[in-house]
Amino acid sequence: MEADYKDFKEIDSNSQKCPGCGSNLEFDPSTQNLVCSHCGYTKEIFKQNTTEKDFSQLYNDTKSTWSNEIITVKCENCGAIETTKKTSISRNCSFCGSPNLVEQKNFEGRKPDSVQPFKVVQKDALDKAVTWAKKSYWSPGSFKRAISTYNVSGIYYPVFTFDTNAVTYYAGVLGKTEYYRDSKGNTHSRIRYFNIAGQYKSFHDDVTVQASNFIAQKYISKLLPFDTNHSLEYKDEFLYNFNATQYTKDGLVCWKEADTVIQSTIKSAILRKYSYDTIRSYNQKSHYSNQTFKYVLIPLWVGNYTYKEKLYNYFINGVSAKITGHRPVSAVKVLVHILVIIAVIVGIVLALYYSGVFSNVSD
């Protein structure tokens, strides 16, 4: 069975008991506090803005680890690899709903520094999913009807964000096409090349790189932006009744991807200063300073649907409610659409034939 993710690792949260009735307290996105769904008791969460971490801490990736608290399990239905608390009771896979989870091995990794809490409640996320499904003309009717009966699961997804100052030295040869007329009035073109060189200073704020590969990048890109600049310091309480996925790419790997993004941004900014239409050569070299990072958990609602033994997932931004995902396509609808187009074309051709258009052309 195919899925839209790989190497999925998930950390289940701790829980606190309600002092009134003994039930588990849950994080409530609407109040941003812990609440008891049974008696209504509310406990405020102390919130503090996140602080950037010095870049040197990326080289000490196991300074704060979950390795003594978690186990890794694999879903035998869809193949997702998840990580959960050792004290957690058995539960279902967040991506396909299967209870067939088998323990695999421990997972090493640091705790997150920051979190962007959920603001979209589960009901609103499900309503969004229902509307999204109904807009899909090519999807089978069973998909549109089934979405309203499915639940969505809240997970926190890992990203690394980077801040840095950059001083970039560049040099190159650009060309601009010029047009001229010769003595006979004919138009010709030639490229006028010119040298460029200089220094460019820039600041790059919260360059965000996803720290896991289990969700395709195209889906994450469609859910942006996440306002990671206003993240809060990580606390377990934000995860009560939710799960948090651990990274599969550490901070140093993510920095290499961020560096590629930064270099592309710098190059575009430099070249925008010139009028050109071709590049003969171009080189740049950047020096970074005041580098910092955050390891942030961003909120996602995740839903799943199985159609003809294939798993389809959809994802909802837990702050803005943006939605994207993979929807099944009805082969019957596609076939009917093609047949209708063919019938229309045939009808037009026959109408033209019997109206004598073709005979007039041959004459």
Q: Are residues 239 and 142 in the same domain?
A: yes
User: What does the pLDDT average to over 192-209?
Assistant: 96
In the predicted structure, residue 166 carries a pLDDT above the cut 90: yes
What are φ and ψ of residue 129, in 5° steps?
-65, -40
In a domain, 39, yes or no: yes
In a domain, 240, yes or no: yes
Q: Are residues 83 and 34 in the same domain?
A: yes
Q: Which one, of 157, 271, 296, lies nearest residue 223 by Cα?
A: 157
In a domain, 141, yes or no: yes
Q: Are residues 240 and 92 in the same domain?
A: yes
Q: Are residues 336 and 241 in the same domain?
A: no
Q: Are residues 224 and 320 in the same domain?
A: yes
Q: Which two tokens stand for residue 7?
A: 């190497």
In a domain, 261, yes or no: no
In a domain, 262, yes or no: no
Q: Are residues 146 and 103 in the same domain?
A: yes
In a domain, 119, yes or no: yes
In a domain, 182, yes or no: no
Q: Are residues 308 and 217 in the same domain?
A: yes
Q: Which helix (H) or strand (E) holds 73?
A: strand 70-75
Q: Residue length, the chain? A: 363
Burial 77-89 (b: 16+ CB within 10 A, else e): bbbbbbbbbeebe
Q: Are residues 40 and 85 in the same domain?
A: yes
pLDDT tens for each residue of 223-272: 988 889 889 998 888 888 887 777 888 899 999 999 999 999 999 999 99
Number of domains in the chain: 2
In the predicted structure, residue 142 carries a pLDDT above the cut 80: no
Q: Which helix (H) or strand (E) holds 308?
A: none
Range among 136-145, 176-185, 276-285 rated most confident: 276-285
In a domain, 80, yes or no: yes
Q: Are residues 85 and 61 in the same domain?
A: yes
Q: Are residues 350 and 222 in the same domain?
A: no
Instruction: Write down the H helix ranges in 75-151.
Output: 122-134, 141-146
Q: Are residues 211 and 355 in the same domain?
A: no
Q: How far apart are CA 29 and CA 38, in angstroms?
A: 17
Q: Which of 75-84, 87-96, 124-133, 200-209 is least confident?
A: 87-96
Q: Which two tokens stand for residue 20?
A: 């009134």
Q: How far apart are CA 226 and CA 318, in angstroms?
A: 9
In the predicted structure, residue 8 carries a pLDDT above the cut 50: no
In the predicted structure, residue 348 carries a pLDDT above the cut 50: yes
Q: Are residues 148 and 123 in the same domain?
A: yes
Question: Domain of 344?
Answer: 330-363
